[in-house]
Amino acid sequence: MLIAVLLGFVFSLLLVVAGKFFRGKPAILSAIIPLSLFVYFSGFINEVSGGGVIRQSFKWVPSFGVNLGFTLDGLSLLFSLMITGIGFLVFVYTSTYLKGHEYLDRFYGYLSMFMASMLGLVLSDNMISLFVFWELTSISSFFLIGFNNKSEASRKSAITALAVTGLGGMSLLAGALILGSVGGTYTISELLNSNQVIADSPYYIPIVIFMFGAAFTKSAQFPFHFWLPGSMLAPTPVSTYLHSATMVKAGIYLLMRFTPILGNTEFWNSTLLIVGAITMVYAAIHALFRKDLKGILAYSTISALGILVFLIGQGTEKALLAAALFIVVHALYKATLFLVTGIIDLQTQTRDVTVLRGLRKVMLPVAIAGFLAAISSAGIPPTVGFLGKELTYESTLALISMPVLWIALILITKILLLYAGFVAGISPFVGKLPEQFANTKKPGMLLWLPPMILAVTGIGFGIFPALVEPIVFPVVTAMGESLGNEHLKLWHGFNTVLWLSIATIAIGTVLYFILKPSQKLVESAERFEFLSPKALTTVGWAYFNKVSSLWTRIFQNGYLRNYVSTIVVFLIGLAGYSLYQTAKFDLDLSTLNEITLYEMAVVAMMFSSIFFVVFTKSRLTAVASMGVMGLSICLLFVFYSAPDLAMTQFSIDTLTVILFVLVLYRLPRYLKLSDYRTRIKDGIISLAFGSIITVLILEVLASPVDKTISKYYAENAYVLAKGKNVVNVILVDFRGSDTFMEISVLAIAAIGVYALLKLHLKETDQH
């Protein structure tokens, strides 16, 4: 499985050097990668449907309990098949859709990286590696959404998507760290044995909130949904792959994966029910007020994701089966509709459904695919969408708490989704063909064949539901539930569920014929745009920018003096508070050595040097005084039997003084850069910081000393490193890497300084 995950990354790297080959006709060869992976994962269907679970683990950071562990069970297999199967069709579709594009190879690189990231995400059995792949999906989707980087709107949409999903990524990391601490492991499969311990933990609520934050942002739940419609500015293959089958389902996967660990509690189920219900109804209503095909599909996608969250929140085996089947249903019909929309846009140069009519006459295969996808989205038999709708109604009717409310909300949602599916999949192809589209050409087979395959698959799964059972049933098993002798079938007899289905189809069809998309509807929705989460977030972002600007003007104003003062004041407050809480001031002064005349003389020299540094008007005098102060410290080291430190101090201090003199030679004689008020403030800060350090040193002297480490170095310096100077051995051998890095930093800084000294700017650039 590790090779399967890494294959997409390797192909992306290959395109860096061989990208030119994949810009022309050979571009379709890139589809071999997802196709081979689809065949590979298909080989596990029988084993997984029989109850088998395949696990692999590779050491990564074992000291922190972080390994590259992979698990292939029913849940991860379902998503792996979708990622690779739909990925294969998208790769084929792209070879024609972006034919001749100068950055086609780059697009395939981003697409491959995203595919590999999604595979790593759904196969990960370790929460930290899951987080890494989670973030990689956000980064690769950022590149895909902003692929048309010359467009400001595309760039803005990419940044918005990255900001929202990136925030969710941080939420996932926080939840994973706390969950790993409570459960005692970062391995997801091992956490299953600690679900009761986690539920009883006082950190259960924060863990769940963090996990919800990750899932809701990634899967576009209200109020974090606004990034998804904006991302529709991406090329159609991106919309198809990311926003119908893969990326937006990552949050759904997260909820399903952690349901056996965090689920089956009132907080978990109630939150998912409420958020899912709000999202599905809110987005379905919004789909009524759109005339852009991608806009309609975007909001219907959000609504479908809300249905999935709603079903997961129910928590019953019937609801989880409905969720698993609806994932397949939605991926098939929504990917088809997106691909169909892309063809329409490519051939007619418009996605405005108010002007699109009669296209069946010029692109019949596309019309057939759109029609089949539309009836599947409507849940009309014999499509697999009908099976998904029946299971959804059946599980919702079984809810104990407020079943009438929940069934009313899901019924409204399904009716509106039927309307949206008909508008996107049927409306552009019926009626009289306008003259402006009379010369529209029939698309090539590589464009219409992928959506046709998906649409026909939706019909095939509906007629032969036994074909989809080995894919969806193991999902429920992986989530800790048992289905018994459950089987999928089209006919369940005359019951409440059937009447609800009939009502959905009848009312939705009538609505389709009565309500036509129009600019008037769009404008009526725009009147309330100021109340939308996107508008409110924009206002909040504006205030955030104002606060950030104020903060920058105060703390990041370009003056090194202010930076140092801020850091020192913070340290004074932090250390002072800590010392106030813990300091005992029980140092026995009789244990200290008597102060000698030599030491008093050296301290007097230091005070005199400080006086000259602070009050002199000559830079040269200040530098010389600092040198005297450094030499005084060297003498103190000598008095206390530390000649090696004295020599080091002497060398560094002498070099520093020389450098100061060389620099000051190039500066004006003297500039008064601070007034008395600033100097008084600096003096107070300096005295406070010095006092804190003094108290800290006295506390250290009063505390018992653990000499275990020092004994280890003393005993092993000569034995292991063949050196008699313990300090030198520590720096060169025991901490050799650290010393090497310090030297490297100094070398880089020296190179930078040298480059600045040799830099000669033009007069126009100096301003």
> What does the pLDDT read at residue 320?
92
CATH 1.20.120 correct for 559-704: yes
The arithmetic mean of pLDDT across residues 350-360, rounded, is 88
Whether 558 has a pLDDT exceeding 80, the answer reads no
Predicted confidence band of residue 653 (pLDDT cuts 50, 70, 90): confident
Pair of tokens at residue 476: 């429920």
How does the average pLDDT of the chain come out, rounded? 86
Whether 589 has a pLDDT exceeding 70, the answer reads no
Least confident of 22-36, 165-179, 646-660, 669-683: 669-683
Counting Cα atoms < 13 Å in the Cβ hemisphere of 333 gives: 37
> What does the pLDDT read at residue 670?
59
Pair of tokens at residue 142: 């950022």
More confident residue, 329 or 735: 329
Whether 763 has a pLDDT exceeding 70, the answer reads no
Least confident of 185-189, 561-565, 649-653, 665-669: 665-669
> What does the pLDDT read at residue 651?
84
Predicted confidence band of residue 598 (pLDDT cuts 50, 70, 90): confident
Most confident of 125-139, 187-201, 237-251: 125-139
Predicted confidence band of residue 86 (pLDDT cuts 50, 70, 90): very high
Residue 58 pairs in a beta bridge with 68
Cα 243 to Cα 144: distance, rounded to the nearest angstrom: 12
Q: Token pair 């050409």 is at which residue?
A: 441
* Residues shown for the chain: 767
Tell me the C-alpha to C-alpha distance, in Å, between residue 439 and each of 343, 420, 435: 15, 28, 8
Whether 708 has a pLDDT exceeding 70, the answer reads yes
Residue ranges per domain, the chain?
Answer: 559-704, 708-767
Cα 217 to Cα 254: distance, rounded to the nearest angstrom: 12
> What does the pLDDT read at residue 673?
62
> What does the pLDDT read at residue 760?
67
> What does the pLDDT read at residue 532?
76
The 3-state secondary structure of 111-147, one letter per residue: HHHHHHHHHHHHHECEHHHHHHHHHHHHHHHHHHHCC
Whether 310 has a pLDDT exceeding 90, the answer reads yes
Q: Would you list the DSSP string of 515-540? A: ----HHHHHHHHTTGGGSHHHHHHHH
Cα 82 to Cα 52: distance, rounded to the nearest angstrom: 20
More confident residue, 553 or 421: 421
Give percent of the chain above pLDDT 70.
Answer: 96
Contact 412, 328 (CB under 8 A): no
Q: Could you give the dihedral angle defined by the CA atoms of residues 730, 736, 742 and 745, in that order, rounded to the nearest 10 degrees?
A: 170
Q: Token pair 């051939």 is at which residue?
A: 347
Least confident of 15-24, 198-207, 278-287: 15-24
> What does the pLDDT read at residue 366?
92
The arithmetic mean of pLDDT across residues 743-752, rounded, is 86
Least confident of 135-139, 432-436, 568-572, 756-760: 756-760
Whether 279 has a pLDDT exceeding 60, the answer reads yes
Q: How many CB atoms lie within 10 A of CB 718?
A: 13
The three-point CA angle 89-94-99 to 5° equals 150
The arithmetic mean of pLDDT across residues 157-185, rounded, is 90
> What does the pLDDT read at residue 622?
82
More confident residue, 25 or 408: 408
Least confident of 97-101, 268-272, 276-280, 335-339: 97-101
Considering the entire predicted model, what is its pTM? Answer: 0.79
Pair of tokens at residue 237: 């293959």
Pair of tokens at residue 212: 């919800």
More confident residue, 263 or 667: 263
Tell me the C-alpha to C-alpha distance, in Å, between residue 50 and each of 38, 44, 470, 488: 19, 10, 8, 17
Give percent of the chain above pLDDT 90.
Answer: 33
Whether 399 has a pLDDT exceeding 60, the answer reads yes
Whether 557 has a pLDDT exceeding 80, the answer reads no
The arithmetic mean of pLDDT across residues 571-579, rounded, is 87
- Express each pLDDT in 366-378 by its tens digit: 999 999 999 999 9
Residue (of 318, 221, 327, 199) closest to 268 by Cα position: 199
The arithmetic mean of pLDDT across residues 661-687, rounded, is 75
Tell me the C-alpha to C-alpha distance, in Å, between residue 584 and each of 323, 697, 706: 62, 13, 19
Whether 701 has a pLDDT exceeding 80, the answer reads no
The helix (run of H) or strand (run of E) holding residue 68 is strand 66-72
Whether 624 has a pLDDT exceeding 90, the answer reads no
Cis peptide bond upstream of 223, omega within 30: yes
Q: Is 184 left (phi over 0), alpha (psi -120 to 50) or beta?
A: left
3-state secondary structure of 352: strand
- Express each pLDDT in 435-493 by its tens digit: 888 888 888 888 899 999 999 999 999 999 889 999 999 998 888 887 777 788 877 77
